[in-house]
Chain A
């Protein structure tokens, strides 16, 4: 067993966990934050379990919980802690960027980090940024439209 202290969405979780426990299982089973999904049975290909590790998008099924010890994790629940949706979440709603919603949490986390790093991306760059996330409903077009909407709103705000 390993002792870990992991900050998730500003709350510290101090737990004893099996060394083999994956971060995604820690988030879901110990912190009881089930917004982070498991899509591809832990193979690291679907991106549904994407969270922020110290502010950067990572796949939480590819990390051991022990590796997140003394690090800060943000999950989809941490995007709108007071219930006020972020512009990206609003855009997913207005642009129909989701259907079943299973992949959405991971995509929101990835694109939130992406837009922080690339505030004015081209459509091609958005598409490339989405490679690590699978969506089986939307065909991605509406997701890209939602991300573009946020970019356009940010640009408008600047001018």
Chain B
């Protein structure tokens, strides 16, 4: 709506999907969590169906804008808009969500988050496709996730936002890691940092090292909200915190 009012978008038609109750649901069964595209942030925050390992979804949804915004805003709206600094895309990317899309002819397809978010304001959704829902695979015990951001005021759009999803094996070594970053140029994976955590116990030094790798690979910039150096500091600080929370949660401690 803000994009329409600021003339960033000039749509010929607007179709309100709020009345489609079929697109408002959160279900968890057979190792799969599915969230309907028109599920509002407030419904995600209050849902009992979101398993602990995917709790990053609640971290993100509970900090979007303010409660009036969360009473209206939907997960699908945020994912399809894919704003350059937004909480939902970066979190869904970390949780390896899969978008279920439907075409006007009724045919459906699934697009993994890695292929869905093409860049700020760009997604793989075709012009006439509608996002129906997002699937998240559950990885079982010793899985944990978290999301955190920093903005100029509380719950503002992230200057830097980081999400993480970790899984640990029987020997308590990390065998699965996804770390994602937003605020610079949309949601992006931190692939080298993820790789550096594999086969480690993800202790504080190892996480700090992983975030140093992120800082060495990703350029930041200075603007009115933060200097380039401050953005690096945010990446290190928030990254360490988020990954430590995700790890604690994986071991049932957070």
Q: B24 to nearest A CB, angstroms?
A: 13
Interchain CA distance A144-B67 in the complex, whole Å: 16
> Which A residues touch B155, using CB under 8 A?
128, 131
> Which B residues touch A42, using CB under 8 A?
5
> Which A residues touch B65, using CB under 8 A?
131-132
Return the chain B residue nearest A131 by Cβ: B66
> Which A residues touch B1, using CB under 8 A?
44, 62-63
Q: Does A114 contact B (CB under 8 A)?
A: yes
A58 partner, pick from B2, B72, B153, B154, beta carbons under 8 A: B72
* B68 near A50: Cβ-Cβ < 8 Å: yes
Please report whether the interface of chain A is mostly helix, strand, loop or mixed according to DSSP: mixed
Q: B148 to nearest A CB, angstroms?
A: 15
Q: Does B127 contact A (CB under 8 A)?
A: no
> Which A residues touch B153, using CB under 8 A?
131
* A64 near B68: Cβ-Cβ < 8 Å: no
Tally of B interface residues using CB under 8 Å: 17
* A132 near B72: Cβ-Cβ < 8 Å: no
Interchain CA distance A44-B65 in the complex, whole Å: 10
Contacting residues of chain B (164-222) with chain A, CB-CB under 8 angstroms = none
Known: A58-B72, A62-B72, A67-B16. A129 touches B67 (CB 8 A): yes
> Which A residues touch B18, using CB under 8 A?
67
* B2 near A57: Cβ-Cβ < 8 Å: no
> Which A residues touch B69, using CB under 8 A?
44, 59, 62, 132
* B66 near A47: Cβ-Cβ < 8 Å: yes
Q: Does A15 contact B (CB under 8 A)?
A: no
Q: Does B8 contact A (CB under 8 A)?
A: no
B2 partner, pick from A43, A64, A110, beta carbons under 8 A: A43
* A110 near B68: Cβ-Cβ < 8 Å: yes
Contacting residues of chain A (15-40) with chain B, CB-CB under 8 angstroms = 19
Known contacts A58-B71, A63-B72, A131-B67, then 5 further A-B pairs from the complex at CB < 8 Å, ordered by chain A residue: A19-B14, A53-B72, A64-B14, A128-B155, A132-B67
19 A-B pairs with C-beta separation under 8 A = A44-B1, A44-B2, A44-B69, A50-B68, A53-B71, A56-B42, A56-B71, A57-B68, A58-B68, A59-B68, A59-B69, A62-B1, A62-B72, A110-B67, A110-B68, A113-B67, A113-B71, A129-B67, A131-B65
B interface residues with partner A (beta carbon < 8 Å): 1-2, 5, 14, 16, 18, 42, 65-69, 71-72, 153-155
